[in-house]
Chains A and B, each alone.
Chain A
Amino acid sequence: MNKINKLTIASLLTLLLLGCSNKKEDTDPSKIDTSDLTVCCPIGAPAMALYNRLFSDKVEINAPSNVETWFSEGKSDIIFAPTNAGINFINKKNANYKIAATVTFGNFYLASTGNDNDGLDKDDYVVIFQKGNIPDKLFQYIYGNDYNAHYVADNAAAIRCLVSGKDESNNNASVDYVLVAQPGLYRGLEKNKNATLYSNLQSEYKKKTNNEEITQASIFINNDLALDKANAFLDEIESDVKALLADPNTVVDNVFGDIEDVQLSAKLSVGKEDLKASIKDGSMGLGYKKAKENKEAIDKFLTNLSLGNETSEEIYF
């Protein structure tokens, strides 16, 4: 009887220990399954951080105009969005999200069409896309607001201006400079042999702000999402971004080997070769920084570009 009791106690203790070790495994972020998390992200540069789950059913990559709907619905576990837009939805419309990390640090460039050879002057015809949004505000912050600026709807329209040297929306007026974003900058420079890169707006911004970064797009986490799952997701994204930055050729070939360029372009606005090149030279602005540790840069980005006010600690994950 005594022997049986001892055996029972020993078995129970073993089971208990096994149970404890299992529990420990569950809290390890690398063991938590995050594939069921619903993620929304606008097309283009921010979506690059999601390259490992780009074609998952749980991930919606869509036009940037949908960002407002995503925040107001609050259905998604995670939203990738322009930093200013996300923070404004949290502050002004009480969106149930917190900012966790920044993944895009600016991909804006001013290119010359070749029609002007004496540098950017006030009377030069400058084409900018997305009036009132980050590209426009960034240009105004760096160069001032008294330029002969003309606006087009999106980056694709700006690239057409760079290639033709004309503004189709304004009776084919001669264009001198075009502000373009990187998914497409290479294509523009390749098609117009007279076009040149005039300035890197990220570097110009750094010069003007004592080395601050453009915290262009960030990850927002739903407040209802379990903490361990959110952390596991963020860890995954961080290691994915680091892997892509370290060896873009291998990662792009491994992940998108069977994917056609056009299919990739639907999500990222760029084909495989341009993607590799732009990651390699850092022109896509891809990176990963925890938002809480980068609060000062986020605040300066918002206030410098008149995109919002300084943020409170509460909105940080």
Chain B
Amino acid sequence: MKQAKRFISNHYTLITLGILFVLAIWSLVSFKDGNGTFLFPSPFDTFKSLGELLKSSYTYKSIGWTLLRTFLGFLISLVLALFLGLIAGNYKNLQTFFKPLIIVFKAVPTAAFVYLFLARNGSRWAPMYIVMLVSFPIIYESIIGGMNSIEDEILDQIKIDCLDPFTPLFKIKLPLTFPFLVIGMTSSFALSIKTEIMAEIITGDTNYGLGAMISAYRNLDPTDLSPIFAIALIAIIIVLIITLIAHLIEIRIKRNIQ
């Protein structure tokens, strides 16, 4: 009995059960909608399409371009957010000063900027700027959140022990902020991938990219949605892998801090 209970509460068992639950719901919905791959392709049709997609070099080039633009946009956001976040986290007045700007970044409809970036940067690079727009406020706020969560006792100690402002910033505050930063990066990266694919579709780029692939498959056969579901599955797998890597990094950092 105890063994059965342990098996059910096991982390990996729960994840497997969760995946099976998603597949069951998916099968049920596709079965209810019927009509083969026309409306809601079944997991079987989707995995079959995924197998076909993975044989094509176009798929790998598209994954590469989507990841390249996402990473570049994300990296630029990270550098900007680190720079502004560390300064604003250190000086409360500056934090208040930046607040309206961050609210604008968070609230502005992404689609409104798509056309601006499209005109300025062309369809190939416009999605990268959209990724920057979306990921920057999340990373910035996670840094600010981390900086604000540092205990007052530590801050008092820093004031007594350190004369220059840079040593405690990089050697004490930044490491303490790191777990928050990793969480912010993980959640914003998943969002960045989604944004990148959406922006690729809106900008209408016809070269390489998962969004361009979705449009191409829709043009090729608008009545078969299974390749589109398979592309979505590829995006989910990429996000899962990156989340897993981020999770491992987080564990390592926590261990190092302890």
Tell whether, in the assembled complex, residue A262 and residue B122 are in contact, meaning their CB atoms are under 8 Å apart.
Answer: no
**B104 interface hit (Cβ, 8 Å):** no
Of A6-14, A23-31, A154-162, A295-303, the one touching chain B: A154-162
Tell whether, in the assembled complex, residue A63 and residue B216 are in contact, meaning their CB atoms are under 8 Å apart.
Answer: no
Select which of B38, B123, B207, B220 is within 8 A of A265 by beta carbon: B220
Compute how far the CA of A39 lies from the CA of B215 in the bound complex, rounded to whole angstroms.
21
Residues of A with C-beta under 8 A to B221: 187
**A164 interface hit (Cβ, 8 Å):** yes
Closest to A73 in B: B119
- Interface bits A145-163 vs B (CB < 8 Å: 1, else 0): 0000000000011011001
Of A84-92, A209-217, A235-243, A266-274, the one touching chain B: A266-274
**A69 interface hit (Cβ, 8 Å):** yes
Tell whether, in the assembled complex, residue A262 and residue B204 are in contact, meaning their CB atoms are under 8 Å apart.
Answer: no
Chain A residues touching B, range: 20 to 34
Tell whether, in the assembled complex, residue B118 and residue A266 are in contact, meaning their CB atoms are under 8 Å apart.
Answer: no
Tell whether, in the assembled complex, residue A43 and residue B35 are in contact, meaning their CB atoms are under 8 Å apart.
Answer: no
- Interface bits A274-302 vs B (CB < 8 Å: 1, else 0): 00000000000000000000000000000
Tell whether, in the assembled complex, residue B216 and residue A265 are in contact, meaning their CB atoms are under 8 Å apart.
Answer: yes
Compute how far the CA of A27 lies from the CA of B42 in the bound complex, rounded to whole angstroms.
61
Residues of B with C-beta under 8 A to A135: none
Tell whether, in the assembled complex, residue A163 and residue B206 are in contact, meaning their CB atoms are under 8 Å apart.
Answer: no
**B131 interface hit (Cβ, 8 Å):** no
**A106 interface hit (Cβ, 8 Å):** no
**B219 interface hit (Cβ, 8 Å):** yes
Tell whether, in the assembled complex, residue B118 and residue A260 are in contact, meaning their CB atoms are under 8 Å apart.
Answer: no
Compute how far the CA of A270 lies from the CA of B57 in the bound complex, rounded to whole angstroms.
19
Select which of A62, A159, A160 is within 8 A of B204 by beta carbon: A62
Closest to A258 in B: B57
Chain B's nearest CB lies how many Å from the CB of A18? 43
Chain A's nearest CB lies how many Å from the CB of B63? 14
**B222 interface hit (Cβ, 8 Å):** yes
Chain B's nearest CB lies how many Å from the CB of A222? 17
Residues of A with C-beta under 8 A to B118: 66, 69
Compute how far the CA of A161 lies from the CA of B158 in the bound complex, rounded to whole angstroms.
69
Tell whether, in the assembled complex, residue B219 and residue A183 are in contact, meaning their CB atoms are under 8 Å apart.
Answer: yes
**How many residues in B have their beta carbons less than 8 Å from beta carbons of A?**
27
Compute how far the CA of A191 lies from the CA of B222 in the bound complex, rounded to whole angstroms.
11
Tell whether, in the assembled complex, residue B204 and residue A63 are in contact, meaning their CB atoms are under 8 Å apart.
Answer: yes
Residues of B with C-beta under 8 A to A269: 219-220
Residues of A with C-beta under 8 A to B196: none
**B217 interface hit (Cβ, 8 Å):** yes
- Interface bits B84-118 vs A (CB < 8 Å: 1, else 0): 00000000000000000000000000000001001
Within A156-178, the residues touching B (CB, 8 Å) are 156-157, 159-160, 163-164
Residues of A with C-beta under 8 A to B205: 62
Residues of A with C-beta under 8 A to B204: 43, 62-63, 65-66
Whether A271 contacts B220 in the complex (CB less than 8 A), given A61-B206, A62-B206, A66-B118, comes out as yes
**A263 interface hit (Cβ, 8 Å):** yes
Within B193-220, the residues touching A (CB, 8 Å) are 203-207, 212-213, 215-220
- Interface bits B116-139 vs A (CB < 8 Å: 1, else 0): 001100110000000000000000
**A261 interface hit (Cβ, 8 Å):** yes
Closest to A261 in B: B220
Compute how far the CA of A159 lies from the CA of B119 in the bound complex, rounded to whole angstroms.
31
Compute how far the CA of A160 lies from the CA of B204 in the bound complex, rounded to whole angstroms.
21
Within A43-70, the residues touching B (CB, 8 Å) are 43, 60-63, 65-66, 69
Select which of B58, B206, B213, B223 is within 8 A of A191 by beta carbon: B223
Tell whether, in the assembled complex, residue B123 and residue A66 are in contact, meaning their CB atoms are under 8 Å apart.
Answer: yes
**A184 interface hit (Cβ, 8 Å):** yes
**B56 interface hit (Cβ, 8 Å):** yes
Chain A's nearest CB lies how many Å from the CB of B210? 12
Whether A157 contacts B222 in the complex (CB less than 8 A), given A60-B123, A163-B38, A260-B58, comes out as yes
Tell whether, in the assembled complex, residue B206 and residue A43 are in contact, meaning their CB atoms are under 8 Å apart.
Answer: yes
Compute how far the CA of A159 lies from the CA of B218 in the bound complex, rounded to whole angstroms.
11
Compute how far the CA of A188 lies from the CA of B224 in the bound complex, rounded to whole angstroms.
11
Compute how far the CA of A260 lies from the CA of B115 in the bound complex, rounded to whole angstroms.
30
Residues of A with C-beta under 8 A to B203: 62-63
- Interface bits A86-104 vs B (CB < 8 Å: 1, else 0): 0000000000000000000
Tell whether, in the assembled complex, residue A160 and residue B222 are in contact, meaning their CB atoms are under 8 Å apart.
Answer: yes
Compute how far the CA of A261 lies from the CA of B207 in the bound complex, rounded to whole angstroms.
13
Within B167-208, the residues touching A (CB, 8 Å) are 203-207
Compute how far the CA of A63 lies from the CA of B220 in the bound complex, rounded to whole angstroms.
15
Q: A69-B118, A160-B38 are in contact. List 16 more A-B contacts (CB 8 A).
A: A43-B204, A43-B206, A62-B204, A66-B118, A69-B119, A156-B222, A157-B222, A159-B223, A164-B223, A183-B219, A184-B219, A191-B223, A265-B217, A266-B215, A266-B216, A270-B220
Residues of chain B having any CB pair with chain A under 8 Å: 35, 38, 56-58, 115, 118-119, 122-123, 203-207, 212-213, 215-223, 227
Q: 5 shortest A-B CB distances, which residue pairs?
A: A63-B204, A266-B216, A156-B222, A265-B220, A269-B219
